Amino acid sequence: MLYIIGLGLSDEFDITLRGLNAIKTCERVYLEAYTSILMVEKEKLEALYQKNVIVADREMVETQSDEILKDADKINVAFLVVGDPYGATTHTDLVIRAEELGIQVKAIHNASIMNAVGCTGLQLYNFGQTISMVFFTESWRPDSWYDRVKENSNLGLHTLCLLDIKVKEQSVENLVRGRLIYEPPRYMTTNQAIDQLLEIEQSRNEKAYTEDTLAVAVARVGSDSQKLASGTLKQLLTTDMGGPLHSLVLVGKRLHIMEAEVLRKFAVGLEEFNRVLVSEYNVK
């Protein structure tokens, strides 16, 4: 059996009892470590599981899946995913490969940012398409996500923005030269995401959002240091949310008064927040 096990959002204790019991039956345990991260070291997972944990980077998962799936038709193998098992398309690809080899697959679900974002007070029913924001480079500034945001905006729906992380990544120069030298880890902040959002709006000028669009900056959801901040994009551009991981929500115009009441509790500037609620969202 191949178990794909969600670990939840924060630390080693977020795993479900079902997931923990499954790990105890496994001969090999892999930790996917590039679509997201837990806020603890793998050694803490090993201490709880009493198993050696193999860190699986992007290269291993995408090009060495045969190694992960080796003998999984005869023994139990665990593939651990931060959040929920199906939070990234890569994990679906691994399931397809396993099933093609006749390996049984069982997913054990857990909380992910896709549902935990409800901590903002925004109703999950009122969210549209989720987008991913990648780090811009000098030569690559993709904006394909803009159309999804605009579609959500036209329907008055909220948009969850998942922010890029770079773990065990090579520079273009080292990649071209075939040098296995990796860049230090980088985690996109809400400040960087907003800066990129505003840059693309300026170039596209289709009014999917503006500096006065309300948003919620979200950091370290599910941990004891969780932080939320609501305000306009202009206000949140300079709001320090601390360490990773960050996410951002663009608030849709169909904002309900109950949602607005919750957002007021962590507004970075209540007077400006209330002004925009009335002028842009027609909420008093």
Q: Is 87 annotated as a binding residue?
A: yes
- The answer for residues whose C-beta is within 8 angstroms of residue 96's C-beta and 6 or more apart is none
| CB of 190 closer than 8 Å to CB of 246 | yes
Q: Is 256 annotated as a binding residue?
A: no
Distance between start and end Cα atoms, the chain: 55
For 258, the token pair is: 């109950």
Selection from 142, 131, 36 nearest residue 82 by Cα: 36
| Alpha-carbon 236 to chain mean position | 19
Q: Is 112 annotated as a binding residue?
A: yes
For 247, the token pair is: 């996410």
Q: Is 246 annotated as a binding residue?
A: yes
Q: Is 73 annotated as a binding residue?
A: no
Q: Is 164 annotated as a binding residue?
A: no
Q: Is 9 annotated as a binding residue?
A: yes
DSSP 267: B
Beta strand segments in 70-176, E? 77-81, 105-108, 131-133, 159-163, 165-166
Residue type (1 letter), 191: N
Give the helix/strand (H/E) hosting 275.
helix 270-281
Q: Is 113 annotated as a binding residue?
A: yes
Which residue ranges are tagged as binding site?
A: 9, 84, 87, 112-113, 163, 221, 246
Which residue ranges are tagged as binding site for S-adenosyl-L-methionine?
A: 9, 84, 87, 112-113, 163, 221, 246
